[in-house]
Structure 1
Amino acid sequence: MQFGGIEHGIEFTSERTRKIAKKLGYNHSGIHNLCSAWLVNPHDSVKIANLTTIIGRHFLKNEFGRNVPGIENLPDIGEWPKWWRGVTSLYAAEIAINHIYSSTLSHEHESSAIDHPSYSTDSIWNAWHIHCLHNEEYFSKFGHQDELKEFLQRQRENRIQKMVNTTWTDMVLVEVLNEYEKIQMNNKIPIGNITVRDYVRALAWRKAYSAAGAINLN
């Protein structure tokens, strides 16, 4: 089995997750920062999902709010990245995976190919699955959100000019297709020129331009 492993919390998060696992009677092997991509057999995926749901319900009912010991100074929804209600499924799944695979789970089961960070400068061909994180790196959700807001505040003519001039995004996506054709022809992964960050950025802006062109932004 393989799981995406990319840091999305702090030591407080890890320690609290371990304590909750112990309180609920689940084993925890000390493997943290497991993400939402699981490469496991179908039977195990159902087991993980079912246990994650059970643990997640407990989290939502009992592990957030100013009345909960240890997080009295946090808002009811918590605070990212310390302890945040919005990623309850990650906390719950971490406990479920550690419990189900308690006798075999190790850091060897964390894969950089899945849940690969969207701000990575690695070749796109090193990433099977890309995870856009909540942080200030570029390309991340917050960074793109700020750029998108700035774009939408521009004058209409300026936005149209930006949308029409898609040379950069087109070049990135065409090059990815060219590299893919080389893979098909040579039956091996090339040392690609397009990074994960550039690929994600091109896709995001292509989608943003399409959406902006389909609505009235006057």
Structure 2
Amino acid sequence: MQFGGVDHGNDFTDDRLRKIAKKLGYNHSSIHNLCSTWLVNPHDSVKIANLTTTIGKHFLKYEFGHNVPGIEDLPDIGEWPKWWRDVTSLYAAEIAINHIYSSTLGHQHQSNALDHASFSPESVWNAWHIHCLHNAEYFAKFEHRDELQEFLKHPRQDRVKKMIDASSRDMVLFEVLNEYEKIQMNNATPNGKIVVRDYVRALAWRKAYSAIGAINLD
């Protein structure tokens, strides 16, 4: 079993999750920052999902708001990264995974290959699954959104010119596909020339250009 491991809290978060797990009668092995991707057998994935749903409902009903002891000073939605309602599913899944695998779970079950950060400078072949995170790094969700919104402000002819002149980004995708074919056909060793950040950026802009080209923005 392997789980994505990306920080989405701090010491306050970790301590509070352990206390809530204990309050609800669940075991917690102090393995924190388990992320969205679970590489487990299908039977276990159903167990994790069901327990995550049960715990998540408790969180949404009882663990946020000014009346909750310990977080009286926080807004109802919480405060990132201290205690944040929008990642309830991650909090609930952490408790569920720690409980279900309480006798075997360890840090060795957290993998950097899963939920690999989209702004990573590592080789794309080190990432089994890429997670576009919320932060100020490039490539991250809001950074790309802001850049895309700025692009849409340009005159139509400038947008078209930039969409046509996308050869450098297309070459990134071509290199990845070419290397993939070599790996599949010839059992070649990846050389890792393309990094995750450049691959995700090229892919996102290619998708954006396709979407923009399919509609009449004027």
Indicate the TM-score class for this superposition, using the shorter chain for normalisation. over 0.9
Gaps of 5+ in 2: none
Q: What's the counterpart of residue 141 of structure 1?
A: 141
Runs of 4+ in 1 over 4 A off after TM superposition: none
The 2-side partners of 1:56 and 1:133 are apart by 21
The 2-side partners of 1:189 and 1:75 are apart by 51
The 2-side partners of 1:118 and 1:75 are apart by 29
Q: What's the counterpart of residue 2 of structure 1?
A: 2
Q: Secondary structure at the match of 1:144?
A: helix
Q: Counterparts in 2 of 1:40-51, with a 5 A limit?
A: 40-51=40-51
Q: What's the counterpart of residue 123 of structure 1?
A: 123
Quote how far apart the aligned CAs of 1:127 are. Answer: 0.8
The 2-side partners of 1:168 and 1:135 are apart by 26
- 1:118/1:139 contact within 8 Å kept: yes
Quote how far apart the aligned CAs of 1:10 are. Answer: 1.5
Letter of the aligned partner of 1:177 in structure 2? L
TM-score when normalising by structure 2:
0.95
Quote how far apart the aligned CAs of 1:71 are. Answer: 1.9
The 2-side partners of 1:216 and 1:76 are apart by 41
Q: What's the counterpart of residue 32 of structure 2?
A: 32
Correspondence 1:95 to 2:121: no
The 2-side partners of 1:33 and 1:107 are apart by 10
1:5-42 per-residue CA deviation (whole Å, 9 max, x = no partner) reads 11121222111111111111111100000011111111
The 2-side partners of 1:167 and 1:150 are apart by 21
Letter of the aligned partner of 1:34 in structure 2? L
Change (3 A) 1:96 1:77: same
Q: What's the counterpart of residue 106 of structure 1?
A: 106
Q: Secondary structure at the match of 1:191?
A: coil
TM-score when normalising by structure 1:
0.95
RMSD: 1.3
Q: What's the counterpart of residue 179 of structure 2?
A: 179
Identity of aligned residues (%): 77
Count matched residues. 218
Quote how far apart the aligned CAs of 1:188 are. Answer: 3.9
The 2-side partners of 1:9 and 1:211 are apart by 35
Q: What's the counterpart of residue 151 of structure 1?
A: 151
Gaps of 5+ in 1: none
Correspondence 1:20 to 2:15: no
